[in-house]
A and B are shown apart, each in its own frame.
Chain A
Amino acid sequence: MNTAILIATVLICLLSLAALLIWLERRLLGIWQDRLGPNRVGFLGLGQVVADMIKIFTKEDWIPPFADKGIFILAPTIVVIAMLMAFAVVPFAPDTSISNLNIGLLFFLAMSSLAAYSVMLGGYASNNKYALLGSLRAAAQTVSYEVFMGLSLMGVVLLTGSFNMSDIVLAQKEHGWFVFSQFVGFIVFLVAGIAESHRLPFDLPEAEHEIVAGFHTEYSGMKFGLFFIGEYLGVALISAVITTLFFGGWLGPEFMPPLFWFCLKTFIFICFFVLLRAAVPRPRYDQLMMFGWKVMLPISLLNLLITAALTLARAS
């Protein structure tokens, strides 16, 4: 019964968060770009969220006749399902996660690797040249950055000795936040996380100045909306995982409940993602790929080796 309530709460919170993030992003971007953003509908423009929802739900449910119908519908659902599933292992507070898997971290990595199918299949099913180009780019980018996404987390696992997310948070009680001892790992994971969720500055799969809208060129209505929700869920997921693994998760001073600290830290990272979009220009695609293979991969391997060597030296 407890689980049922938790599942319902988590899903309601996540979906409204994804909708709210669209508004938040537009407002924050507005502020940082010295304009207002959506501020007319309701209090602070919050009614915009509802208006957008109504609008997108009443759009035509359009499937292009040249598309592969089944895969065309399936593709946007994969990213939403994978991102929501990954939240199952995130501990929001002590003993509060949908599933306290022993291999929680691997589960998160598995889900984020499955999300790659969404863009690939979306572009393939659209049967549109720009969509295909975008999805090839997306796939190459996602898989390249996935390699060291896993590697960058291994330092944390090494210090904890467990894949369990709750154990990792608890370990930070003794070790201090892992962002200090695993700073390189944190930076690598952050970069990989941005690339995995196709956020600016790494949104080349949908770079509108060269390939229309990339993999979702042919998408409209709620199916496009699902891609959008998936992207924002991805941002929230990466922020939540960064909080859990590197910033002590729910740990914080006693005067507020653990859940508050978790949400606060996650929120700060979400805002950071928006700031990145406002502040950093896109790199070129070849630069992006070379950066991944030539810089990030060796760095994350070295980080792991050095962490291991230091841990061994301290033990002996």
Chain B
Amino acid sequence: MTGDSENLAALVIYFLVVLGLVALILLISHFLGHRRQDAKDYHPALNEPFESGVVSVGDARLRFSAPFFLVAIFFVIFDLEVVFLFAWVIGFEESGMPGFIEALVFILILLAGLAYLWKLGALDWGQNPKRRLGRVAMLAAEKAASAPTRDENTPETL
């Protein structure tokens, strides 16, 4: 395929030009940029992370909770599903009715998975105790609910 290599060559040239352009922009700003001349120009707060004027405690190497991680996993799995559907759609006319039925089964299996996760509350964010705690802790929370404590309800920023 000669057209293929031509297209690829154009793409590669374009990529190199874009790369050069971005590098140029950064270089220009590096050379044109204002420079601090002396200690007068310098402020100690510059060397601290900006937290709206609050003095930073610890560094940003925090650990985050699982919801973000689950989203990433679900994304990878559904992205793979989408990739299979790409292949179906491009050959749709040729694969015809059998292809359609196959894709239907494929989609339904994954929709079943989605429905299952939905029912379990895996797609809910934030305050839903079902989702945040899992079943074992949910039972514990129910037990605790008879003797009310406000502990489980502390708001959590996402």
Contacts and interface: CB of A to CB of B under 8 A. Distances in A.
B103 A11 contact: no
Given A77-B26, A85-B18, A140-B68, A7 B49 contact: no
B74 A293 contact: yes
A57 B47 CA distance: 22
Interface stretch (A97-105, A243-251, A254-262, A270-278): A97-105
A93 interface: no
A267 interface: no
Contacts of A84: 18, 21
Interface stretch (A36-44, A143-151, A173-181): A143-151
B100 A309 contact: yes
Contact of B7 (A7, A58, A100, A157): A100
Contacts of A3: 10, 13
Nearest to A56: B29
Interface in B1-27: 3-4, 7-8, 10-11, 13-15, 17-19, 21-22, 25-26
Nearest to B75: A143
Contacts of A81: 15, 18-19, 22
A24 interface: no
B86 interface: yes
A288 B97 CA distance: 37
A312 B33 contact: no
Contacts of B111: 298, 301
B125 interface: yes
Contacts of A309: 100
A59 to B, nearest CB: 6
A130 B50 contact: yes
B59 interface: yes
Contacts of A88: 10-11, 14
Given A73-B26, A226-B25, A293-B74, A128 B50 contact: yes
A166 B70 CA distance: 38
Given A290-B124, A298-B114, A157 B32 contact: no
B133 interface: no
Nearest to B3: A100
Contacts of A80: 18, 22
Nearest to A145: B75
B85 A154 contact: yes
Interface in A55-70: 56-62, 64-66
Given A57-B29, A305-B104, A64 B49 contact: yes
B90 A312 contact: no
B7 A151 contact: no
A194 interface: no
A198 interface: no
B90 A157 contact: yes
A85 B15 contact: yes
B47 A157 contact: no
Interface in B36-73: 36, 46-52, 56, 59-62, 64, 68, 71-72
A238 interface: no
7 contacts: A59-B34, A99-B10, A102-B4, A140-B71, A147-B79, A162-B90, A293-B123
Q: Top 9 nearest A-B pairs by Cβ distance?
A: A222-B29, A286-B125, A143-B75, A61-B33, A128-B49, A99-B11, A286-B126, A60-B34, A99-B7
Interface of B: 3-4, 7-8, 10-11, 13-15, 17-19, 21-22, 25-26, 28-30, 32-36, 46-52, 56, 59-62, 64, 68, 71-72, 74-75, 78-79, 82, 85-86, 89-90, 92-93, 96-97, 100, 103-104, 107, 111, 114, 118, 123-126, 157-158
Given A61-B30, A298-B111, 15 more contacts: A3-B10, A11-B17, A57-B32, A57-B33, A58-B34, A65-B47, A85-B18, A88-B14, A100-B7, A127-B61, A131-B60, A226-B26, A289-B71, A290-B125, A304-B85
